[in-house]
Structure 1
Amino acid sequence: MIASSSALGVSASVVASAVYGRDGQKHVVEVTQISAVLKAENSLLWVGLHDPAPDVIDMIVAQLGLDAAVGQDMGATHRVPKVMDYGTAVLVVAMTVEVRSTDGLPAFGETQLLIGSNYLITLRRGAIASHTALRHRMESRPDQLALGSAFVASELLDLLIDRYNLAHDMFERAVEPMEQAMILRGLEKLKVRRLYQLRRDFQRMHNAIAPLGEVCRRLSHREFLPINAQARPLFADLADRVYRVDRLLDNLGDGLTFAFEAGMLIEQAKQTETTRRLAAWAAILAVPTAIAGIYGMNFEYMPELQWKYGYLVILGLMGTICGTLFYKFRQAKWL
């Protein structure tokens, strides 16, 4: 029962496990037997894992002849891209950024690439899309698989960068209507919580993508043993792609910030205009209020109380002063 449970856990974690010969032939292998496969010359072992258990990782690392610390690093959850050199193997950690189709929100995960001279171990955590389409495309081109594990790893990183661009395009379509709404109507009817969420997502995307450019640059310049000289220019091109998509995301975030600031200015202008209108009407209404208040004090001896036309004169005075103030405020565009 214990053995069957262990085998079930391994099979659930392994998406694909195959060895590819120089002639393009593919042989499916069990991950429990990969140590024997590694002895074959002119072959490439490619194992794909999805959310594997720690014991599965340790078992594969042991068969590869690597130190147990490699398994610990692969079993850990990483927050930023990085590259770790173990001499005969290199571990590349990249963050995945994808957009969920259900709610349009970004999903963050990680993809690890353990690159050896004749093997490649890929590990996905939290990633939505798989590498199946890329594997099929590579299998249809044996000449590309023959270039080695470093070339396949560069293709996988290129696939992740393509998904960065897809995430940017979807966010751009979501941000543009919000920018237009803020510029046209200010912050009126704006979901501030959604705006904050977008700004937070942009920051997380930047933190997940930007360090990958430095990782690719290191792979292109530093002499890692499993990465041959022919594959290094590929990682240099990937570094340029990462920097470009990161700049696009920065520009999108800056555009959202500028639109928000414009919306704030429009909202402040609306509030200022409303304040001016209220102040102008308050000044106009203060005139009859003050005059009526004076004559409502009910003193016995007050000017013009006994005058026959005093009431009409006071009303005319009120109307004249209020009309003059109204005219002046209209000239000043307060009304």
Structure 2
Amino acid sequence: MSMIRDLRAAVRPAFRKASGAGDAHPCEPLGDSVVDCAVYREGRRASGQLAPGAALAQVREAGEGFVWIGLHEPGEAELAGIAKEFGLHPLAVEDAVHAHQRPKLERYDETLFTVFKTVRYVEHTRLTATSEVVETGEVMVFTGAEFVVTVRHGGHGSLRSLRHRLESSPELLARGPSAVLHAIADRVVDDYLAVAAAVQNDIDEVEIDVFSTETTGSGGMETAGRIYQLKREVLEFKRAVGPLLRPTQLLSERPMPSIDPQVRTYFRDVADHLARVHEQVVGFDDLLNSILQANLAQATVAQNEDMRKITAWAAILAVPTMITGVYGMNFTHMPELHTRYGYYVVLVAMVAVCVAIHRGFRRNGWL
């Protein structure tokens, strides 16, 4: 176990650097998961590097400002110390460590625990039956009167650029921890909008392929696989968006601890954008169901047309088969066996009947 812990400690910093998890202002080395730690007063970042406990003590001593700590995939031991310093509830801490949580908003005394599902569109040259379309991660936010603790899981959704943007707008950070929570929610929902637009392009491409004339046979089965894969990815997207509707409504409508009343108004815009994305995703799901049904119907029609052609040719060939079968019975006394031109008359009759049947089938659209 000690070897595994040592390996994890050696690998994680490299992963954080590669995935963009590192920030410009690291904390004291309390653990590999600590990305950034800063004290903000009147919307401006205080200088110097402090451990989370010392930063919180400084805020309490000054009686103003708040602490913002950023973590990336912390372990139980790494988060336990911070949880003790900031009074985080054990149940929320357990959720933050193990991840794979449903988007939600929970209140523990004067602390809010919010879970967001981050979504990233995976670029691909052409959608296939095995293409990954959306990649999900998680951002958990502990919001108190004097602190914000963000816990991120996944290789995307870094909050570094968001932190820098907020630091360049002191009037936003001056509103306290609730301004950080709003900025995170707004960033997540804006990403949803971008991903929804990209997924719409994939759906349009599949829809064009389904209603083209080249999707019959094996091509139609390949398109069905692409539709099904896209439907699975849309379902994953839907699981990220749908459960977040209620938390954003609560944040925009009800008084919450540590949420500034002025900031609560801004959550209405987030809730409105989220509702629009949810409508889009539900529409994607319904549209993909219709496209899949259309593709299956096309395959059925193509099979029926093939069967009609086979049946028509079988009917045409049945005429000469019947005549030759009759005259192949080898009875001694059969009519017209000794006629001079009987053989040629029968051949002409067979061809004439076959041509007449063939024209009839073509006239009815069977051939």
TM-score normalised to structure 1 length: 0.91
Deviation of 1:172 (Å) = 2.3
Report the number of matched residues: 333
**In the alignment, which residue of structure 2 is the partner of 1:154?**
182
Match of 1:15 among 35, 41, 48: 35
| Structure 1: distance between partners of 2:161 and 2:35 | 13
**In the alignment, which residue of structure 2 is the partner of 1:246?**
278
Match of 2:237 among 180, 205, 221: 205
Deviation of 1:72 (Å) = 2.6
Match of 2:57 among 36, 49, 71: 36
Q: Which runs of 4+ in 1 moved over 4 A?
A: 101-104
**Are positions 1:222 and 2:254 aligned together?**
yes
Q: CA RMSD in A?
A: 2.4
Residues 86-101 of structure 1 mapped to structure 2, 5 A cutoff:
86-101=108-123
Q: Aligned AA for 2:215?
A: G
**Are positions 1:84 and 2:106 aligned together?**
yes
| Structure 1: distance between partners of 2:29 and 2:204 | 45
**Are positions 1:303 and 2:335 aligned together?**
yes
Match of 1:194 among 217, 226, 247: 226
SS of the aligned residue for 2:333 comes to coil
Q: Which moved more, 1:181-190 or 1:214-223?
A: 181-190
| Structure 2: distance between partners of 1:322 and 1:67 | 86
* Closer, same or farther: CA 166–10 of 1 in aligned 2, 3 Å: farther
Match of 2:147 among 119, 122, 125: 119
Note the alpha carbon deviations across 1:65-97, whole angstroms, 9 max, x for none.
Answer: 344444234323243111110111100011111
| Structure 2: distance between partners of 1:297 and 1:165 | 78
* Closer, same or farther: CA 17–93 of 1 in aligned 2, 3 Å: same
**Are positions 1:320 and 2:352 aligned together?**
yes
Gapped regions of structure 2 (runs ≥ 5): 10-26, 125-130
Gapped regions of structure 1 (runs ≥ 5): none
Q: Aligned AA for 1:123?
A: V
SS of the aligned residue for 2:152 comes to strand
Note the alpha carbon deviations across 1:182-237, whole angstroms, 9 max, x for none.
Answer: 11033542254433221111111101111111111112223322113222222222
Note the alpha carbon deviations across 1:136-178, whole angstroms, 9 max, x for none.
Answer: 1111111110011112211111101111122222222323222
CA contact (8 A) 2:95 2:101 kept: no
SS of the aligned residue for 1:308 comes to coil
SS of the aligned residue for 2:262 comes to coil
| Structure 2: distance between partners of 1:177 and 1:170 | 11
Note the alpha carbon deviations across 1:272-331, whole angstroms, 9 max, x for none.
Answer: 222111111110110001000110111111111122222122122212211221121121
SS of the aligned residue for 1:52 comes to coil
